Amino acid sequence: MAENGESSGPPRPSRGSAAAQGPASAPAEPKIIKVTVKTPKEKEEFAVPENSSVQQFKEAISKRFKSQTDQLVLIFAGKILKDQDTLIQHGIHDGLTVHLVIKSQNRPQGQSTQPTNAAGTNTTTASTPRSNSTPISTNSNPFGLGSLGGLAGLSSLGLSSTNFSELQNQMQQQLLSSPEMMIQIMENPFVQSMLSNPDLMRQLIMANPQMQQLIQRNPEISHLLNNPDIMRQTLEIARNPAMMQEMMRNQDLALSNLESIPGGYNALRRMYTDIQEPMLNAAQEQFGGNPFASVGSSSSSGEGTQPSRTENRDPLPNPWAPPPATQSSATTSTTTSSGSGSGTSSSSATGNTVAAANYVASIFSTPGMQSLLQQITENPQLIQNMLSAPYMRSMMQSLTQNPDLAAQMMLNSPVFTANPQLQEQMRPQLPAFLQQMQNPDTLSAMSNPRAMQALMQIQQGLQTLATEAPGLIPSFTPGVGVGVLGTAIGPVGPVTPIGPIGPIVPFTPIGPIGPIGPTGPAGPPGSTGSGAPPGPPVSSSAPSETTSPTSESGPNQQFIQQMVQALAGANPPQLPNPEVRFQQQLEQLNAMGFLNREANLQALIATGGDINAAIERLLGSQPS
Amino acid sequence: MAATTGSGVKVPRNFRLLEELEEGQKGVGDGTVSWGLEDDEDMTLTRWTGMIIGPPRTIYENRIYSLKIECGPKYPEAPPFVRFVTKINMNGVNSSNGVVDPRAISVLAKWQNSYSIKVVLQELRRLMMSKENVKLPQPPEGQCYSN
């Protein structure tokens, strides 16, 4: 009968392979199977053709999990699935589950930071306090970095980026992922001496315009910076890596406790949005993006900022090293959740100071320095960029304005501890040096690779000469070479984060080339008695294409030679008697009422001459 | 599952192992361990491979550890032999060949027939998080024991 008609019946949708409706496809097509992909944090279902390869499967997964295919590791039934295998080969059928691990790309030591981040974009609020703790603790670092002009980024560890800010980023990443390096940095005595000077730290930090902005918005930060106790404590802790870790742990604990207080989570969130975010965003231009941008936007921030294993030293995707002490402020924040806002903001600022210090130093001690120099010679533009960077400028300026500060920094350099007379001589020369740094001629000299090479050659030549024919030196007019070197090496100074210290410290990494040995004929009084006056004009020409030495003056040359001498003399450094060194400090301590000379001396030796720290040691407790 | 309900019921080995195979394929558990037959044609269901994903906040974080598990003829009355394929530095694991010492791991030492491969793997993972193991320095990633 007709009615029966052809019910065309239910339309027969010819389902494409994208159908996710289970096994209803046409027989000729490969069967679509539903496979669940499970990560430790979440799981998703995927519908893929049965005969697809693992590679194709990964591509589909990478879209949904927002990572790259080479970051994905698939595991099924205890086996890792290789890209060229097929799903059938492993027996993956409909309804089965495959495990997924998302690796990070930057894992020099095998500890990954990204995977949790990538995998955990929608996570439970329970993980929020953790993640908030790390942003809090880490965001301060970008500031510290910024304030020093991120010069630390310069020890690029051989990265070949020509873009300065890229260099910085890479540096940060490398730094972060390498706890050993962090340790190395922190243990560098130069860092430590730097860190022990709160005034210096404060000044450097204040010089950063972003910091200034932040301070305007959050006056607590300026309180923090101005509070010498906190600064000192921070720096103290910064010097002690083990303590640092402890602090970080405590802070994390405190913060997670905070979360459990009613209203605590909100406070944390406020903290983050009010303080960290602007800080991070402000630092963004230098660090290539706010890693926490996505974190802040979702109410439950990603596991990505979960502090990684061990002592929370390595707070994951944040761009900068973990700051040390926030413990004092952290504890206050736990007690008063309302005060937590200010507490943590102060803590993050504290972190700044230390972070600043973190980066200042070890530049010299890392092998990266060598490669950096090499890069510099290869890439003049880099230097131009570097030197013209605004923060660099501001730092230089602040140093010029405050010659004492600069003097102090320089003098703390280990090179000089061996040679107090040199210190005295250096002092007056400092302003001249600083001038030189800012001299655009200097800049162009530095950016001239041939000039740099020539200088290197001169140095090498002088060194060879020194070893081959030491007697020849005085008659040779090394003043020329050294003078040229000195001034030209001076400009290499800014390569290191501390401008004026530059000329001195980079001698160390230029180590093999550097120690000109006895070529500094006009030795400082008391060293070699050869006393050939430095006068020699820049007549006999070193093959120099530098333009800066034209401003060479007698005192400058002499100064430089003395420096060189000191450098030579500083290997190996012999410390004069500590009593003599600390004579002045001992007297001060005496005047304050610490009458036990032995104990004073011990404390001074232990703190390297820092009176404030020595006092703390003597008192035997940390004033809070 | 059926193995544990009646105290007197002894489930034959192969049934147990088939159950475990199915669980392994279905991804039962939290997704941090995985196990399956080493060779799908293995009719004796003896050789298994396992995988443990290193727990976060430990030194094992984000590493994937591969293991070989051998369920002998007396399984599940007797514990399986477990051996790490990926190099690992952990208490209870022989550092030269990766063999897990049954006396050192509690689930193996006090094995019960209700335990399973999943339990063993999860226990090993839990031990990675224990104080004594959580910070042990590890060999570089990707190395395997030679045998």
* A323 found inside a domain: no
The pLDDT of residue A106 is: 46
Determine the residue among A180, A309, A312 to mutate to test chain B binding: the one whose Cβ has the most chain B Cβ atoms within 10 Å: A309
The encoded tokens of residue A561 equal: 């030679």
Which of the residue ranges A6-15, A40-49, A424-433 has the most confident prediction, judged by mean pLDDT? Answer: A40-49
Terminal-to-terminal C-alpha distance of chain A: 99
Largest CA distance in chain B: 47
The last residue of a domain, from among A65, A83, A102: A102
Q: Which of A26-35, A74-83, B26-35, B67-76 has the lowest mean pLDDT?
A: A26-35
Closest C-alpha among A504, A425, A517, A512 to residue A190:
A504
* CA–CA gap between residue A369 and residue A362 (Å, rounded): 9
- In this predicted structure, the answer to whether residue A408 has a pLDDT above a threshold of 80 is no
> Mean pLDDT, chain A, as a whole number?
56
For residue A534, count CB atoms less than 10 angstroms from its CB and return exposed for 0-12, middle for 13-18, buried for 19 or more: buried
Query: What is the per-residue burial (b if ≥16 Cβ within 10 Å, else e) of B118-134?
Result: bbbbbbbbebbeeeebb
Neighbours of A390 (CB within 10 A): 11
Strand partners, B35: B50
Nearest Cβ partner for A78 among B49, B61, B62? B49
pLDDT-based confidence at residue B69 (cuts at 50, 70, 90) = very high
Average pLDDT over residues A19-47: 69
The encoded tokens of residue B62 equal: 């984000």
Minimum distance, in Å, between the CA of residue B102 and any CA atom of chain A: 21
Give the strand order in the sheet containing A97-102. A43-49, A32-38, A97-102, A72-76, A79-81
Element (H, E) at A342: helix A340-360
* B117 found inside a domain: yes
Q: Look at A77 and B37 and tell me if their CB atoms are within 8 Å.
A: yes
* CA–CA gap between residue B128 and residue B108 (Å, rounded): 16
- In this predicted structure, the answer to whether residue A36 has a pLDDT above a threshold of 80 is yes
Half-sphere exposure of A348 (CA within 13 A, CB side): 33
**Secondary structure (DSSP) of A442-492:** HHHHHT-HHHHHHHHHHHHHHHHHHHH-GGGTTTS-HHHHHHHHHHHHHHH
Q: Are A559 and A425 in contact (CB under 8 A)?
A: yes
* CA–CA gap between residue A90 and residue A461 (Å, rounded): 66
Classify residue A547 by its DSSP letter.
S
Stretch 63-102 of chain A: residues touching chain B, C-beta under 8 Å: 73, 75-80, 91-92, 95-99, 101
Contact list, B125 vs chain A (CB under 8 Å): none
Classify residue B53 by its DSSP letter.
E
Closest C-alpha among A82, A44, A77 to residue A60:
A44
Contact list, B140 vs chain A (CB under 8 Å): 110
SS3 A560: helix
Q: How many A/B residue pairs have CB atoms within 8 Å?
A: 100
Minimum distance, in Å, between the CA of residue A323 and any CA atom of chain B: 19
Which of the residue ranges A344-358, B22-36, B106-120 has the most confident prediction, judged by mean pLDDT? Answer: B106-120
* A524 found inside a domain: no
* B45 found inside a domain: yes
pLDDT tens figures, A544-583: 333 333 344 445 555 555 555 554 444 444 455 667 778 8
Which of the residue ranges A566-580, B27-41, B103-117 has the most confident prediction, judged by mean pLDDT? Answer: B103-117
pLDDT-based confidence at residue A423 (cuts at 50, 70, 90) = low
- In this predicted structure, the answer to whether residue A469 has a pLDDT above a threshold of 50 is yes
Q: Are A509 and A375 in contact (CB under 8 A)?
A: no
* CA–CA gap between residue A55 and residue A51 (Å, rounded): 11
Nearest Cβ partner for B27 among A38, A79, A91? A38
* A87 found inside a domain: yes
Structural domain count, chain B: 1
* CA–CA gap between residue A101 and residue A119 (Å, rounded): 8
Average pLDDT over residues A10-28: 41
Give the chain A residue nearest B117 (alpha carbons).
A78
Determine the residue among B26, B33, B34 to mutate to test chain A binding: the one whose Cβ has the most chain A Cβ atoms within 10 Å: B34
* A294 found inside a domain: no
- In this predicted structure, the answer to whether residue A311 has a pLDDT above a threshold of 60 is no
Average pLDDT over residues A57-80: 86
pLDDT-based confidence at residue A303 (cuts at 50, 70, 90) = very low
Q: Are A31 and A86 in contact (CB under 8 A)?
A: no
* A325 found inside a domain: no
Q: Give me the percent of chain B exceeding a pLDDT of 70.
A: 94
For residue A349, count CB atoms less than 10 angstroms from its CB and return exposed for 0-12, middle for 13-18, buried for 19 or more: buried
Note if the pTM is more than 0.90.
no
- In this predicted structure, the answer to whether residue A130 has a pLDDT above a threshold of 80 is no
Contact list, A307 vs chain B (CB under 8 Å): 57
Minimum distance, in Å, between the CA of residue B7 and any CA atom of chain A: 29
Radius of gyration of chain B (CA): 15
Closest C-alpha among B42, B49, B43 to residue B81:
B49
* Full domain range(s) for residue B105: 13-129
pLDDT-based confidence at residue A262 (cuts at 50, 70, 90) = low
* A588 found inside a domain: yes
Say which CATH number the domain at A593 has.
1.10.8.10
Q: Would you give the distance in Å from CA A162 to the centre of its chain?
A: 18
Q: Look at B135 and A310 and tell me if their CB atoms are within 8 Å.
A: yes
Q: Look at B34 and A76 and tell me if their CB atoms are within 8 Å.
A: yes
* A69 found inside a domain: yes
Give the chain B residue nearest A315 (alpha carbons).
B57
The last residue of a domain, from among A277, A293, A327: A277
Q: Look at A78 and B35 and tell me if their CB atoms are within 8 Å.
A: yes
Q: How far is CA A265 from CA A228, A270, A338, in A?
A: 31, 9, 11
For residue B102, count CB atoms less than 10 angstroms from its CB and return exposed for 0-12, middle for 13-18, buried for 19 or more: middle
* B135 found inside a domain: no
Say which CATH number the domain at A47 has.
3.10.20.90
Minimum distance, in Å, between the CA of residue A269 and any CA atom of chain B: 23
A413 vs B53, which has greater pLDDT? B53
The encoded tokens of residue B89 equal: 């530095």
Contact list, B67 vs chain A (CB under 8 Å): 78
* CA–CA gap between residue A80 and residue A74 (Å, rounded): 6
Q: Are A146 and A489 in contact (CB under 8 A)?
A: no
- In this predicted structure, the answer to whether residue A268 has a pLDDT above a threshold of 90 is no
Closest C-alpha among A289, A484, A472, A494 to residue A406:
A494
Contact list, A103 vs chain B (CB under 8 Å): 62
The last residue of a domain, from among A466, A486, A504: A466
* B49 found inside a domain: yes
pLDDT tens figures, A222-257: 666 666 666 666 666 655 656 667 777 777 777 667
* CA–CA gap between residue A182 and residue A171 (Å, rounded): 12
* A248 found inside a domain: yes
The pLDDT of residue B67 is: 92
* CA–CA gap between residue A294 and residue A298 (Å, rounded): 6
SS3 B126: helix
* B93 found inside a domain: yes
Q: Which of A380-384, A583-587, B104-108 has the lowest mean pLDDT?
A: A380-384
Determine the residue among A46, A111, A123 to mutate to test chain B binding: the one whose Cβ has the most chain B Cβ atoms within 10 Å: A111
Contact list, A36 vs chain B (CB under 8 Å): 27
The pLDDT of residue A468 is: 74
The pLDDT of residue A527 is: 37
Query: Which segments within A337-432 are labelled E, that is strand?
Result: none
Q: Look at B34 and A99 and tell me if their CB atoms are within 8 Å.
A: yes
**Secondary structure (DSSP) of A2-15:** TTTTT---S-----
B93 vs A577, which has greater pLDDT? B93
Minimum distance, in Å, between the CA of residue A179 and any CA atom of chain B: 12
SS3 A387: helix
pLDDT tens figures, A388-404: 555 555 556 655 565 55
* B52 found inside a domain: yes
Residue A206 touches chain B, beta carbons under 8 Å: no
Q: Which of A419-423, A428-432, A466-470, B12-16 has the lowest mean pLDDT?
A: A419-423
Structural domain count, chain A: 4
* B92 found inside a domain: yes
* CA–CA gap between residue A63 and residue A54 (Å, rounded): 14
Is ipTM over 0.95?
A: no
Residue A323 touches chain B, beta carbons under 8 Å: no
pLDDT-based confidence at residue A209 (cuts at 50, 70, 90) = low
Terminal-to-terminal C-alpha distance of chain B: 35
Q: Which of A44-53, A159-168, A307-316 has the lowest mean pLDDT?
A: A307-316
Minimum distance, in Å, between the CA of residue A304 and any CA atom of chain B: 11
The pLDDT of residue B135 is: 85
The encoded tokens of residue A122 equal: 């929608």
The pLDDT of residue A78 is: 82
Say which CATH number the domain at B96 has.
3.10.110.10
Minimum distance, in Å, between the CA of residue B91 and any CA atom of chain A: 18
Nearest Cβ partner for B56 among A73, A104, A116? A116
Strand B64-70, strand B47-53: pairing:
antiparallel
* Full domain range(s) for residue A610: 578-620
The pLDDT of residue A70 is: 85
SS3 A319: coil
Cis peptide before A572 (omega within 30 of 0): yes
Q: Look at A96 and B25 and tell me if their CB atoms are within 8 Å.
A: yes
pLDDT-based confidence at residue B81 (cuts at 50, 70, 90) = very high
- In this predicted structure, the answer to whether residue B88 has a pLDDT above a threshold of 80 is yes
Q: Look at A308 and B61 and tell me if their CB atoms are within 8 Å.
A: yes
